[in-house]
Structure 1
Amino acid sequence: MKQRRLGMRTIGAALRLPLVAALLLGVAGVLTPTPAAAQTPTIVETTFDTSDFPRTLKFSALVNDGDALESAVLFYRVPPEGAITRQPADLGAGDVVRLEAVVPTNTARTYIPPGATIEWWWALTMDGGETTETERREYSYQDPRYDWQVIADDVLELYYYENERAAEALHQVGRDGIAHMSEVLGTELDFPARVYLWSNSDDAIGVERVESNRFEQLIFTGGTRVLADLVHVFSPQPWIVVHELTHIITKQAGEGIADLPAWLDEGVATYSEGDWRARRGLALQRALEEDRVLSVRSIGSNTNTPGDVDLFYGQSADIVEALLDEFGHERFADLFAVFKRGSTVDNALMEVYGFDREGLDAFYRTQRGLEERGETVDRSTRIEDEQIGPAGAESQAAQAEPAPEAAPERATEAEEAPAEPEPVAAAEEVEEPAEEARETQASGRRQAVEAWNERIRLGPSFGPGEGFPWAEVLTGVSGAALLLSLAALFVVLGRGGAAPA
């Protein structure tokens, strides 16, 4: 028994040594400091600087634990149809890392309209290559010169900065216009339309695209649709609000892979005004009386002739009215549905009404008591017979050359005064020499082209130039100078030969 107890003590002592060693190692492990794990950079706050409005918008952010930050990028898009854009950020040195990304908002290549909602987020890349993205957020980009208020419901949001009573009245007008035109076009908006209302055009300076040209200034219509759900209005007039909101509805109802033809898009928007003849009717009436209405093909895109602007809008609305009066609202809504499927203009018209653009032109002229149009040369620049991809810039419109039927700009009152008619024979006498002169000029141009082609075939040729009045005198002087030089040379050589050795 004693020997057994001794054995147990020996075994116990042998076990205690490893246990003590393990405990010591554990304590050492606890007491020994371990390297701290690298902290992930986090965005503390993002601010927005509009001091350079309307050219740029600056995004700034403070970053916690930014020592390991290698680079940062701001991503943003303008819904509903905007693509994602990346803007590299500058990293500021200091106690706290600061990010800055400057987004262009109104340049020749980039345009973010005031009133747009910008969806944005940061992407942070660490030294080791790991990248993390922040949560996506939205920023309402507004004209910072004014304190904007809003009247909003599920149909329409109207933003304004003064004259609340006028804004309330226009909000109701806009709601009524949306309801009426949605019924006409057989569609319904599934989002609230938005209107930004400036009190006058001077207050809106800088809001439009920088590339707006002189023509666009001449035909200033008081507003424009800048996004699928957003319009700008530069004068608090009911007809302008309804007109621009109708463009949102026409896009919803009919724009597919291609834009709507201008006569249809602007025609419906002008028709929606109700009292459009008070503004565009005079130009239309004159054109009808003088049989100088524009062809349907030529107004597939907006006119670029300032003198025809009122006629363009008035006739486009009158074509729409003629279609509605003759065929009804249901077939008119069908026309937009066919366009929505991606049809070309001629195919859409043929499917719904049984005629193409020339047929529509003939129909309209007949409805308004005009004779059939003669053959004309198509000078339109819009390709209507092929499907076209979607437009890139929302507020940009394709422009065509003036229509061959388009009349010149209105004459002054003095020019409009009737003149005594000249005899027909006299006119023929004047016309015949003019025709001969044109034929002579054409013949001369043909001969010049043939001569040039002949020179190309034969290679370069060099002929004598024309005579110069002082050529003989200069030739004589040059010859005398040459003789004197030779004589002087002989004298020098002669003296050199006579010198002593």
Structure 2
Amino acid sequence: MPSSPLISLRRAAWPILLALVFLLPAAGRAQGNPPRIVESTAESRFPDAVVFRLTAEADAPIEKIWLYYAMQGDISTTRQAVAFTPSRQVSAEYTWDTSRITVPPSSPVLFYWEVRDAEGNLTRSEETVFRYDDSRFEWQELRQDDLVVRWYEGDAAFGQSLFETARQALNRMEQESGRPLDFPVYLVVYPNREDFASWHSYVEEWVGGQAFPPLGVTVEIIAPGDPTDWVQDVIPHEIAHLFFYQAVHGATADWPRWLDEGVAQYYEPGDHARDLALVSAAAKEGNLIPLEILSGSFGSDTGKVYLAYAESLSAVLYMRETWDEASFAAFVAALREGAHLRDAMQTAFGVTWEEFVAGWLTWLGTPATPAPPPTPTPTYVYPTAPSWYTPTPLGETAGLAASPSPEPSSTPRPAVTATPSPEETVPPGGGVTIGAALLFWGCILCGAGLSMLFGAGILFWRWRIRHR
């Protein structure tokens, strides 16, 4: 007597049910108390390494420990499996090698741990922000709200003068942009080029200051007794890079290079007559570089780099002299909300891009109806330094000029950011990003489910054939 369809379907379902049981995550079968984090620390061995340490305990033997870490502003987090001896009480350690990359002092490093025991219980620690300070020196510090200034050579009066210069610049930027900082900024001051160069993978001889906007850090070479005009120019310049990164930062914000550098120079209190004269002469001779071309790298030709910076400054000066603070604040707000540069100008200033350029040329003393610029085909440079950088041996030093050449700051946007060392880069390497892990297991589960459904269909079809 042939078996009933119901009995056959039950028999066919057993393999599917068993497969689903084995595919369930181990965490779903976990019982008991989760592991407990006893201690979590990070140690600076600047500039060579960060050492992360964990002590944990559990009722069942701890079998897995993962460290998750990233620099502030990174778009992904590195997941690193940490080696240790399984036990109910464990200590684990992982060293992040930074000796071959450029990580500035006082960079914020975000990290947390995951610990899993033999029963599948999982614990995740709270995320910690660790400041990767240069532990080789005895730092002095002044701190107020959203500003921190650190130096190690010079007395309290020297530090106070640095702080006041930075504070005044920030206050002015906040007032004119209509918004405060999103996170604090750090001004870190080295007194000589040798110490400054020691944490770089490369640095040009003329560099006097650098800004790392996603990190909120600017590092500068300023010694007690340096010319006042240099100090009063370089600090506001680099602070402006940090501030306006935060002011306009967004997923679609359009902040071209000429605008970034022009705004930074605008906040320098020094005399810009020489720069404006250079731009006016280039305009009259028909040698201006179209602003559209200056959206990316300024190139490597010294003369063109000087002109690019001078043009950037003059365009921002024209903008600020033509429209009031409220219009400028509206312009910044539109960019932050994701508007394209042209749309932001139309919204805040009431002019098209072509009208803005024509007005700028008239302001320079040239005809207001220039020929259309060529279609820009700049080569965008997104390494950890501009394309004209070449490594400087760390043993070499040079005196600090009041106006380093070819520019007063070395870090154009995008800013210098740390890249994980080869053994930690994902992929390949020991760590994987969370998104990649979820995608992998999602594919496995989906594939298993489809396979089981296909198998059930085959069994049902065979039963139908036998019982026709």
Same fold (TM over 0.5): yes
Pair 1:219–1:365, CA change in 2 (3 A): farther
Q: 1:250 aligns with which of 234, 244, 250?
A: 244
Deviations 1:401-432 (A, max 9, x none): xxxxxxxxx9xxxxxxxxxxxxxxxxxxxxxx
Q: 1:99 aligns with which of 71, 79, 92?
A: 92
Query: TM-score normalized by structure 2?
Result: 0.64
CA contact (8 A) 1:335 1:348 kept: yes
1:141 aligns with 2:135: no
TM-fit CA distance, 1:129: 2.2
TM-fit CA distance, 1:89: 0.9
Q: Secondary structure at the match of 2:344?
A: helix
CA contact (8 A) 2:52 2:94 kept: yes
Correspondence for 1:350: 346
Correspondence for 2:444: none
Correspondence for 1:223: 210
Pair 1:135–1:295, CA change in 2 (3 A): closer
In structure 1, what is the Cα distance between the partners aligned to 2:87 and 2:154? 47
Deviations 1:14-47 (A, max 9, x none): xxxxxxxxxxxxxxxxxxxxxxx99976555445
CA contact (8 A) 1:47 1:61 kept: yes
1:239 aligns with 2:233: yes
Pair 1:252–1:149, CA change in 2 (3 A): same
Pair 1:362–1:167, CA change in 2 (3 A): same
In structure 1, what is the Cα distance between the partners aligned to 2:115 and 2:154? 45
In structure 2, what is the Cα distance between the partners aligned to 1:171 and 1:229? 16
Please show how residues 475-490 of structure 1 align to structure 2 within 5 Å: none
Q: Secondary structure at the match of 2:361?
A: helix
In structure 2, what is the Cα distance between the partners aligned to 1:80 and 1:261? 19
Pair 1:276–1:72, CA change in 2 (3 A): farther
Q: Secondary structure at the match of 2:95?
A: strand
CA contact (8 A) 1:186 1:253 kept: no
Query: TM-score normalized by structure 1?
Result: 0.60
Correspondence for 2:378: 381
One-letter amino acid of the structure 2 residue matched with residue 349 of structure 1: M
Pair 1:278–1:141, CA change in 2 (3 A): farther
CA contact (8 A) 2:212 2:218 kept: yes
Please show how residues 421-436 of structure 1 align to structure 2 within 5 Å: none
Correspondence for 2:366: 370
One-letter amino acid of the structure 1 residue matched with residue 308 of structure 2: F
Percent of aligned pairs with the same residue? 23
One-letter amino acid of the structure 2 residue matched with residue 181 of structure 1: M
Give the structure with higher Rg (CA).
1
Q: 2:190 aligns with which of 186, 190, 198?
A: 198
Runs of 4+ aligned structure 1 residues displaced above 6 Å come to: 37-40, 93-96, 395-399
Across the two proteins, how many residue pairs are aligned to each other? 348
Deviations 1:28-75 (A, max 9, x none): xxxxxxxxx999765554454444x43432213345579812121112
Q: Secondary structure at the match of 1:90?
A: coil
Deviations 1:226-275 (A, max 9, x none): 42533222336221111111123212332332341112121111100021
Q: 2:282 aligns with which of 281, 284, 287?
A: 287
CA contact (8 A) 2:67 2:81 kept: yes
Correspondence for 1:129: 120
CA contact (8 A) 1:151 1:157 kept: yes
Question: Which is further off, 139-148 or 186-195?
Answer: 186-195
Deviations 1:129-179 (A, max 9, x none): 222233443322112222222101114111112213222101001111111
TM-fit CA distance, 1:94: 10
Structure 2: 5+ residue stretches without partners = 1-30, 224-230, 389-405, 407-468
Q: In angstroms, what is the RMSD of aligned CA positions?
A: 3.6
CA contact (8 A) 2:297 2:379 kept: no
Please show how residues 299-318 of structure 1 align to structure 2 within 5 Å: 299-307=294-302, 308-318=304-314
1:117 aligns with 2:108: yes
TM-fit CA distance, 1:205: 1.7
